[in-house]
């Protein structure tokens, strides 16, 4: 492939066949502060990139970024030492500023500014989206090339019991796979490890009883069945690859479910991507080959819900609303724990409480008391019960006081039901 170079807001990004190079400029605000400045060129091998984050420009006068997480030490290949060269790279610098800073900072010398993030403007965004796709493809090729070296299938060496909890290092050791990602192919063991992370993931994997509907890979934009390991999983019934499932309920703890099989009927649905935009994703219906899924107790599920609540509480009302509005489910997912447990989206719950603004949507009275954090205590009620086919969406939830909540379940008064339905619709602003 040919070398590709893009200009960003704070530097340049160059893509080569085996590496990326980031060259930085010093922002004027830092020059004015007269700080000691670390400035230079960072070269990152493609094989060392473990994750790429991409944030688009959404509002005028804001910036987007592409961020690389790397494995290993950062190495500086060259340094920028000429202040005038830095000034030349900043279009907004006028002659007065140039002469002033040149006279006052003759001794200013860059000393290696380590950074794996490049910021860009709206006008530069499309180019950075394209270069991200190219880098994703190179990472996939690089990983496959590494895995194919000394390829010797040794699946018999993998001994692991259902329910066993491993850390990431142990998974890499057993399966000879990549240390990152939700789908990890290994040629050495002829396996594909898939991870359903319920704590920290943008993907919405769902259980329908004993069947897991697993989201394909691809964090931004519409997904493709031919991208990365999506193709591997899609062809797993014919390619002889053994697929192993892990679930994450606690950070850094991977619970082994077992070998899974794909029913061959992938389908598309809408989910939000890493930028919060609606996109089409592919869902793979999967079942365990020799076992039933582990029946977790309610304590595990409750702990997970509390963790998600804490994450959503860090967001503002508009951010929560955007996430909640994106959840449009036709069939309510559930998993078998000690009993049938419906999956409830925490963003919908948090948003229902925020939009109520402390007032019960049934009796129209303030919440009876405040919680320790000062927020009003209300409970979120599904107007049409999930068990009766109701959906976990913002159109089907209301925030009501504990007394009214008990009343709804005890009486199921149609007048009250109609009032809550009307209130929920009216609040869809």
79 phi/psi in degrees, rounded to 5: -125, 145
Q: Which of 112-126, 262-276, 392-406 has the lowest mean pLDDT?
A: 112-126
Give the mean pLDDT of 217-240: 88
Give the mean pLDDT of 364-372: 93
Please give the C-alpha separations between residue 147 and each of 176, 177, 186, 187, 302, in angstroms, as whole numbers: 8, 8, 6, 5, 39
Q: For residue 427, what pLDDT band results from cuts at 50, 70 and 90?
A: confident
Longest dimension (CA), the chain: 82
pLDDT at 87: 47
Higher-pLDDT residue of 76 and 417 is 417
Give the mean pLDDT of 161-177: 92
Q: Which helix (H) or strand (E) holds 151?
A: none
Task: Please say if the pLDDT value at position 74 is more than 60.
Answer: no
Task: Please say if the pLDDT value at position 78 is more than 70.
Answer: no
385 phi/psi in degrees, rounded to 5: -60, 140
Task: Please say if the pLDDT value at position 402 is more than 90.
Answer: yes
Pick from 424, 416, 422, 379: nearest CA to 401: 379
Please give the C-alpha separations between residue 195 and each of 144, 215, 245, in angstroms, as whole numbers: 19, 10, 6
Q: What is the mean pLDDT of the chain?
A: 78
For the chain, what is the radius of gyration of the CA atoms?
Answer: 26
User: Residue 396 has what DSSP assignment?
Assistant: G
pLDDT at 327: 64
CB 64 within 8 A of CB 119: yes
The whole-angstrom separation of Cα 319 and Cα 276 is 9
Pick from 11, 15, 273, 14: nearest CA to 138: 15
Q: Which of 139-143, 176-180, 275-279 has the lowest mean pLDDT?
A: 139-143
Q: For residue 156, what pLDDT band results from cuts at 50, 70 and 90?
A: low
Task: Give just the sign of the alpha carbon dihedral 162, 165, 168, 171.
Answer: negative
Sheet strands (E) in 263-404: 267-272, 278-288, 334-336, 340-342, 379-382, 397-400
First-to-last C-alpha distance (Å) of the chain: 49
Task: Please say if the pLDDT value at position 326 is more than 80.
Answer: no
In the chain, CATH 2.30.280.10 sits at 152-294
Task: Please say if the pLDDT value at position 294 is more than 70.
Answer: yes
pLDDT at 268: 92
The whole-angstrom separation of Cα 215 and Cα 283 is 5
CB 194 within 8 A of CB 183: yes
pLDDT at 379: 94
Task: Give just the sign of the alpha carbon dihedral 393, 396, 400, 404.
Answer: negative
pLDDT at 277: 78
- pLDDT tens-digit map of 183-212: 999 988 999 999 998 887 777 888 888 899
DSSP secondary structure, 37-73, as one string: ---EEEEEEGGGEEEEEEE---STT--EEEEEEESS-
Higher-pLDDT residue of 429 and 420 is 420
The whole-angstrom separation of Cα 129 and Cα 313 is 30
Task: Please say if the pLDDT value at position 316 is more than 50.
Answer: yes
pLDDT at 27: 54
- Spell out the residues 6+ positions from residue 264 whose beta carbon is closer than 8 angstroms to its own: 237
Q: Which of 67-71, 221-225, 258-262, 418-422 has the lowest mean pLDDT?
A: 67-71
Residues of the chain with pLDDT > 90, as a percent, come to 31
Please give the C-alpha separations between residue 294 and each of 45, 204, 334, in angstroms, as whole numbers: 40, 19, 14
Q: Which fold has domain 152-294?
A: PUA domain-like (2.30.280)
Q: What is the dihedral of CA 161, 164, 168, 170, to 10 degrees?
A: -50
Sheet strands (E) in 167-294: 183-186, 191-197, 206-209, 211-215, 242-250, 253-262, 267-272, 278-288
- Spell out the residues 6+ positions from residue 125 whose beta carbon is closer than 8 angstroms to its own: 56, 57, 64
CB 27 within 8 A of CB 10: yes
The whole-angstrom separation of Cα 227 and Cα 24 is 32
User: Residue 236 has what DSSP assignment?
Assistant: T
């Amino acid at each position: 492939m040919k070398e590709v170079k893009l200009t960003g807001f704070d530097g340049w990004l160059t893509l080569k066949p085996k590496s990326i190079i980031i060259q930085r400029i010093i922002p004027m605000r830092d020059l004015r502060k007269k700080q000691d400045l670390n400035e230079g060129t960072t070269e990152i091998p493609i094989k060392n990139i473990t994750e790429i984050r991409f944030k688009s420009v959404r509002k005028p006068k804001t910036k987007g970024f592409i961020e690389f997480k790397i494995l290993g030490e950062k190495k500086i290949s060259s340094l920028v030492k000429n202040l005038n060269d830095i000034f030349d790279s900043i279009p907004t610098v006028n002659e007065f500023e140039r002469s002033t800073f040149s006279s006052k900072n003759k001794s200013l010398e860059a000393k290696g500014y380590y950074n794996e993030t490049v910021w860009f403007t709206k006008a530069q965004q499309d180019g950075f989206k394209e270069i991200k796709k190219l880098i994703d493809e190179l990472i996939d090729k690089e990983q496959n090339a590494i895995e194919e070296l000394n390829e010797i299938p040794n699946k018999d060496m993998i001994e692991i019991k259902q329910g066993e909890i491993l850390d990431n290092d142990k998974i890499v050791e057993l399966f000879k796979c990549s240390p990152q990602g939700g789908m990890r192919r290994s040629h050495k063991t002829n396996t594909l490890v898939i991870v359903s992370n319920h704590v920290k993931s943008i993907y919405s994997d769902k259980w329908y009883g004993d069947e897991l509907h697993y989201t394909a890979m691809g964090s931004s934009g519409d997904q493709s069945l031919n991208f990365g390991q999506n193709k591997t999983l899609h062809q797993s019934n014919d390619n002889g690859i053994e697929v192993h499932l892990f679930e994450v309920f606690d950070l850094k703890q991977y619970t082994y479910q077992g070998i899974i099989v794909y029913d061959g009927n992938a389908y598309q649905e809408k989910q939000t991507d890493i930028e919060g935009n609606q996109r089409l994703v592919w869902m793979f219906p999967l079942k365990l080959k020799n076992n039933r899924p582990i029946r977790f107790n309610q304590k595990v599920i409750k702990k997970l819900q509390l963790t998600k609540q804490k994450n959503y509480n860090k967001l503002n009302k508009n951010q929560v609303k955007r996430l909640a509005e994106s959840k449009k489910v036709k069939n309510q997912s559930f998993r078998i724990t000690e009993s049938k447990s419906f999956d409830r989206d925490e963003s919908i719950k948090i948003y229902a409480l925020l939009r109520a603004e402390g007032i019960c949507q049934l009796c129209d009275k303030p919440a009876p008391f405040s919680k320790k954090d000062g927020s009003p205590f209300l409970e979120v009620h599904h107007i049409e019960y999930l068990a009766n086919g109701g959906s976990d969406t913002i159109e089907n939830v209301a925030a009501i006081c504990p007394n009214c909540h008990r009343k709804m379940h005890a009486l199921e008064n149609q007048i009250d039901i109609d009032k809550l339905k009307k209130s929920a619709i009216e609040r869809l602003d």
